[in-house]
Chains A and B, each alone.
Chain A
């Protein structure tokens, strides 16, 4: 039943050309070079250290690694990270 509903929603998204991040709640990552990243639709911060930020998203955990990582700001669903970014990984 769950599979059917997900198939229906997938077909509707395709047919109506709706943005997937709105329908599925997918995380959006916008990276500017190596020094800046905007992350939208995250749920919470799991871990934050100087070299690692782990975020909970709807589709899983997102691990951002780098050096001197700095959170410029964060709100309920949006975050800006600066520093030297090396890796973005889903866990």
Chain B
């Protein structure tokens, strides 16, 4: 990259060259690595640009080639500073802006949460704010390890949390447990108990004593794998009992009852196409409306677009501009035909099945029936599913009245 491409910052000059032999001047400049650019021939002489640094090195070349140089214009930051050198308030303003940016960089202005599925961002932020982790707190007071521990201890189904600071953002990444698997405490002894009434279809025990076998029918709360392991002697007598965290892969067949109703007559939400909008500015958490969105709409939805002010990628400032959209809608009386009602009910059933499949549930039987009368369409029936079973319950939380050994109930 040539030096002259960066000269706006370092400053450069437009000069006029008058010489009997300008080509000699250009060639000698070239030999001395004095860079000239935008060279043009004008009636007065040759005009070109030269950097300040090279202009200072030009003297011997001028003397050697008996050239006259006139400075036509000055460009770049050094000349800008020189021009405004008496405007003290301007420079104080620039310095104050830098100080402000530095001071703002000492605080957390954005708490960004990723990977949350069942817990909304607001729920997590509310919890964090109850622990004094809030927007606007000082960066050096953020203890990432503490945040990780707090979230994991508060929400048992959050199985992994990572908190990090990037610029003025506190980024919290987390992973939730979707497989109905509970994290066992370290060195914590636990049993695995049934989630719901079911018939066991497979059981693979890794640790603990299995109390049920394939084909057994169990009720909700029954112990499936016990965390206590009996050590027996040759005669079959119990020498001692050891405790462990029971661990097993269990799946069971159970029945789900599906019921859905859809009235044939109802109100339908229809957007009229009328829209209004308002602007607001949020400064340090306080919202000021610039243009009120007085709509006069009877029913309307509100959509908000939030544009936080960011320097670079991660330097979030405590200012944001918000645009509020108001979309008017009205209700219209709607009467569904039998075909439309059946179609809607089938769509709901299919969505329900898809949700089950996404959770790893296998559907083995389905007798959901759709019936439609004059006022109501309904879908109901039983669905036989095979799904992962069992949740870990620590010994300390065991309520003996809840558990019954159900091994004979085959």
A75 to chain B, nearest CB (A): 7
Q: Say yes or no: A49 contacts B2, CB within 8 Å.
A: no
Query: In the complex, what residues of B have CB within 8 A of residue A47's CB?
Result: 23
Interface residue? B38 (CB, 8 A)? yes
State whether A74 and B38 are in contact (beta carbons under 8 Å apart), knowing that A45-B23, A48-B23 are contacts in the complex: no
| Residue of B23, B35, B36, B38 touching A70 (CB-CB under 8 A) | B38
Q: Is B40 within 8 A of A70, CB to CB?
A: yes
The docked-state distance in angstroms from the alpha carbon of A75 to that of B2 is 9
Name the contact of A45 in the complex, choosing from B26, B38, B40 (C-beta under 8 A): B26
Is A46 in contact with chain B by the CB < 8 A criterion?
yes
Question: Does chain B have a CB within 8 A of A64?
Answer: no
CB 8 Å contact bits of A64-78 with B (1 = contact, 0 = none): 000001111111100
User: For residue A50, which residue of chain B has the nearest CB?
Assistant: B41
Q: Are B35 and A75 in contact (CB under 8 A)?
A: yes
Which residues of chain A are within 8 angstroms of B33 by Cβ–Cβ distance?
76
A75 / chain B contacts, CB cutoff of 8 Å: 2, 30, 35
B35 touches A73 (CB 8 A): yes
In the complex, which of the residues B33, B35, B37 has the most CB atoms of chain A within 10 Å of its own CB atom? B37
B315 lies within 8 A of chain A by Cβ: no
B48 and chain A: residue at smallest CB distance:
A71
Name B25's closest neighbour in chain A (CB-CB): A45
**Of A45, A70, A72, which one neighbours B27 at CB under 8 angstroms?**
A45
| B39–A74 touching, CB < 8 Å | yes
Contacts of A72 in B (CB 8 A): 37-39
Chain A CB within 8 A of B4 CB: yes
Distance A73 CA – B35 CA, assembled complex (angstroms):
8
Complex CA distance for A8 and B35, rounded to whole angstroms = 39
| Proximity string of chain B (4-39) to chain A, C-beta cutoff 8 Å, 1 when within and 0 when not | 100000000000000000110011001001011111
How far apart are the CA atoms of A49 and B45 in the complex, in Å?
A: 10
Q: A residues 38-91 with Cβ under 8 Å of B?
A: 44-50, 69-76
Across the interface, A73 reaches (CB within 8 A) one of B23, B37, B41, B46, namely B37
Q: Considering the chains assembled together, what is the distance between the CA atoms of A12 and B22 in angstroms? A: 41
A48 touches B26 (CB 8 A): yes
A15 to B92, CA, bound (A): 69
Query: Nearest B residue to A44 by beta-carbon distance?
Result: B27
* Inter-chain contacts of A50 with B (CB < 8 A): 41
Which chain B residue shows the least CB distance to A70?
B40
Complex Cα–Cα for A17 and B282 (A) = 67
Q: Which residues of B contact A74 (CB under 8 A)?
A: 26, 30, 36-37, 39
The answer to whether A69 and B41 have CB atoms under 8 Å apart is: yes
Give the residues in chain A near B27, CB-CB below 8 Å. 44-45
Chain A residues whose CB sits within 8 angstroms of the CB of B23 once the complex forms? 44-48
Residues of B within 8 A of A49 (CB): 41
A76 B30 Cβ-Cβ under 8 A: yes
**How far is B26's CA from A76's CA once the two chains are assembled, in angstroms?**
11
A48:B22 contact, CB within 8 angstroms: yes
**Which residues of B approach A to under 8 Å, CB–CB?**
2, 4, 22-23, 26-27, 30, 33, 35-41, 46
Q: Which 8 pairs across A and B sit closest by C-beta, in order of nearness?
A: A71-B39, A73-B37, A50-B41, A44-B27, A45-B23, A70-B40, A45-B26, A49-B41
